[in-house]
Structure 1
Amino acid sequence: MESAGQASGDEGRFLVPVLAVGVFGIINTEMGVVGILPQIAERFRVMVPEAGWTVGLFALIVAVSAPVMPLLFSGVERKAVMLLALGAFTLSNVVSACTDSFAVVLMARALPAFLHPVYVSMALTVAAASAGRAAAPRAVARVFVGVSAGMVLGVPVTSLIAGAWSFSAAMLFFAAVNAAAFAATVVFVPRMPVKERLSYGAQLGVLRRAAMWHAILAVTMVNAAMFGFFSYLSDYLRTVTAVSFNLVSAILLLYGLANIVGNMLAGRLLSGHASRCMAVLPFALAGGYAGLFLLGSMPGPAAAAVAVLGVLAGIASNGMQYMMTDSAPEAPDFANGLFLAAANLGTAVGTAACGLLISLSGTRFAVCGTFPFLVAGFAFILWRSRSVRSVQA
């Protein structure tokens, strides 16, 4: 691939920020509808669980296509693929805003979802390539800010727009963000033809490495711990901490802002101490969850524990992505696709496990569902490190 770092002037200076905005637009489209499911149900005269398919179908397609689509597009010029993805997301949101058919809305969300892992994986790859190996973690961390912002701001902003105006207005907001990213990509992102493309067989060959499988399993386990419990955090705050809906929203916003701080810290930590950082993370997360379990009934300490967990989750997301691409540096797009697939699988598994604990023991014990996953995650991180050292020896 032509190095993104070869771009000069505005192209080089704005490349990574543009990628972050593009990731924000795509994650915003994915997650923003979480907060407006009642409006979707009312608009299209369906039940709320049916409206939930606007989230579930999108996530399912991302999980299934994440290892495949980046591989298929790995030989195509990067800028053209990014414009294709952003254009598809823009158009799909315009269609969603204009239709009165729920089936059309589902189709409009399903089709661009296949390009979600293509754009995100390429954005992470291009950001790393633009900075060089030593500074790559910092550049990738800046792109992850777009992920966090999409998750943090997408839900409340979309809810505000849909509540003040309409579902269509919220969809047009998604379209506007993606259109802005499209325009910025046209202006500021250089052409990046793939000069030395690996064959599909060579890319798939990285799956023969023990270190890669250890990394995949580590990402799955750590994400199961983090996002499995996060799915029930609002219920935990309402049931165990016993705070109002407004305060729940404020604490969730605090978590998201702390996550952005964690992303920025991760760039520095991974640049100089990657192995040590990844090994310590499961213990740090376990400490944060233990604190929330013990102090979760008190609003102040609970909010503090949530903030700490937000910072750690931001660092962990970057660390897990670094571990995947470091296991297959010659096939970064495929590695990033595998990262997205493992992360989504972990979220699904963790959500199911924590949900089972809630059914058996109550909401307070959902936190306990994180600990087995963190123990397993640490084990796979340790095994991966040993696999890498044995190959280098």
Structure 2
Amino acid sequence: MKSKRTLYILALGIFGIGTTEFGVIGILPQLATAFDVSIEKAGWLLSGFALAVAVSGPFMMMLLSSFKRKNLMAFVLGIFAFSNLLSIIAPNFGFLLVARILPGFFHPVYWSIALSSAANLVSEKEAPRAVSIVFGGFTIASILGIPIATLMADVFNWQSSFILYAVINVISFAGILLFLPNIPIPDKKAAGTNSSIFKKKVLWINLLVACFIIAAMYATYGYMADYLGKVNRMNGKEISILLFIFGVAGIFGNQLAGKFLSKSIYITTLLFILSLGVVHLLLYNLGTEFISVAIMIAIWGLVHSGGFLISNINVTSSAPESREFINSIFTSCGNIAVTLGTSIGGFWIAHFGIHQIIWSSMLCLAVSFLILLLKKTEIVSSDIIKKTPA
């Protein structure tokens, strides 16, 4: 019971961070208009943040490794709240971009501690489900934070969205300080094994699979509000409702992914890639009827939400002996992938138009599929070598 309560408290912090990081997805069109920049340039509010996370990932975790975990997590949430307050008063796009990037450097610290702590609380077999509970904080951010912020920007102004993000982070900050039990600092002797992790071929394969899966997810999802507005002819309130539907479906998708991963990581990853590909093909052929769009968005949310969890379990299963460090590597990989995905998506929009952005995701999915097949070949080859008598 106590371990489950801890998982939900950790998820609360992920909720605050996820709302800040991805909340701009729903208000990119308003921000582009407010600061008189293109939608592709506005996309840097998402990809710039992700790039900061990618660059700082393992280094920030190593730099702050001697500090108490609970205090570190609260500190990170405080930085997130402060950055949102700076965003509210942004006089120009450059200031807003800097305010957005600031918390990105501290983001990996919270994620690494939260995800490794979740896995360490339970047995190896139950780790995917425990991690899925913590990831649920991000899913709930998609359900409540992102669509409500989108609606607030439509009804009031874009600043009101950042006020919401700041409030959520303050609540998460208080929750961590008041209710999270102390988390022990990992044995420093384990740090010596970190360098050997990079010698594992399966780690590099899993990182590439994760990178292209997440890039495929965000190449289209990063411009979801713009796509729904321009291609499907939805207005601001309808987009808010659709984002809410996307998030609600995501709760079930995240839980489903956790259950499937407990049975087979490889098959779950393969099914995810194929399912997301089919979803994107169906999205491409959608019309402008709200009901049909809503049904398709629900299916998209159901599939999409498992992507981060599936990618995380693939990477962390490569080195379960050093969870905190490998989670910082995954955090960097995931955010490089978000940057890659949103950059590819922005390029696609600029050269082929918003409707064709689906094909940028399909390209990334095809690459991830081929790498996954390579992984299977490597596993089979390793098994044959192990079974061959000397």
Same fold by TM-score greater than 0.5: yes
| TM-aligned CA deviation for residue 83 of structure 1 | 2.2
Which residue, out of 49, 52, 68, partners 1:58? 49
Which residue pairs with 2:342 in the alignment?
Answer: 351
More off after superposition, 326-335 vs 58-67: 58-67
| Correspondent of 1:275 among 254, 266, 270 | 266
Give yes or no for the alignment of 1:193 onto 2:181.
no
How far apart are 1:315 and its partner, in Å? 1.9
Q: What residue is the counterpart of 1:133 in the other structure?
A: 124
2:107 equivalent in structure 1: 116
Cα distance in 1 for partners of 2:152, 2:19 equals 13
8 Å CA contact 2:261–2:268 kept in 1: the answer is yes
- Change beyond 3 A, Cα 1:124–1:371: same
Match of 2:58 among 64, 67, 72: 67
* Residues 265/98 of structure 1: CA separation in 2 closer, same or farther (3 Å cut): same
Whether the 8 Å CA contact 2:66–2:185 is kept in 1: the answer is yes
- The reply on whether 1:22 has 2:9 as its aligned counterpart is no
Give the equivalent residue in structure 1 for 2:362. Answer: 371
In 2, distance between residues paired with 1:156 and 1:47? 23
Q: Which amino acid aligns with 1:330?
A: E
User: 2:190 touches 2:322 (CA, 8 Å); kept in 1?
Assistant: no
| TM-score of the superposed pair, with normalisation by structure 1 | 0.83
Q: Rate the CA distance shift 1:73–1:244 in 2: closer, same or farther, 3 A.
A: same
Aligned: 1:203 with 2:200: no
Q: Is it true that 1:331 corresponds to 2:322 in the alignment? A: yes
The code of the aligned residue for 1:364 comes to H
How far apart in 2 are the matches of 1:38 and 1:243? 13
The aligned residue for residue 247 of structure 1 is: 238
Which range moved further: 168-177 or 61-70? 168-177
What do the CA deviations read for 1:345-382 (whole angstroms, capped 9, x no partner)? 22332333344444444433221222221121122223
Task: Give distance in 1, aligned partners of 2:129 and 2:278.
Answer: 26
Aligned length: 382
1:278, distance to aligned residue in structure 2 (A): 1.2
- Once the two structures are superposed, residues 311-343 of structure 1 have per-residue CA deviations (whole angstroms, 9 ceiling, x without a partner) of 111122211110010011122222222222222
State how 1:205-220 maps to structure 2 within 5 Å: 205-220=196-211
Q: CA deviation at 1:183?
A: 2.7
Distance 1:248 1:161, change over 3 A: closer
Asked whether the equivalents of residues 357 and 365 of structure 1 are also in contact (C-alpha less than 8 Å), the reply is: yes
Equivalent pair of 1:121/1:337 in contact (CA under 8 Å): yes
User: Conserved in 1, the CA contact under 8 Å of 2:50 and 2:336?
Assistant: no
- 1:78 equivalent in structure 2: 69
Equivalent residue number for residue 252 of structure 2: 261
How well do the aligned residues superpose, as a CA RMSD in angstroms?
Answer: 3.3
Give me the identity figure in percent.
Answer: 32
Task: Tell me the distance in 1 between the aligned counterparts of 2:13 and 2:374.
Answer: 35
Gaps of 5+ in 2: none
> Do the aligned partners of 2:88 and 2:163 also contact (CA within 8 Å) in 1?
yes
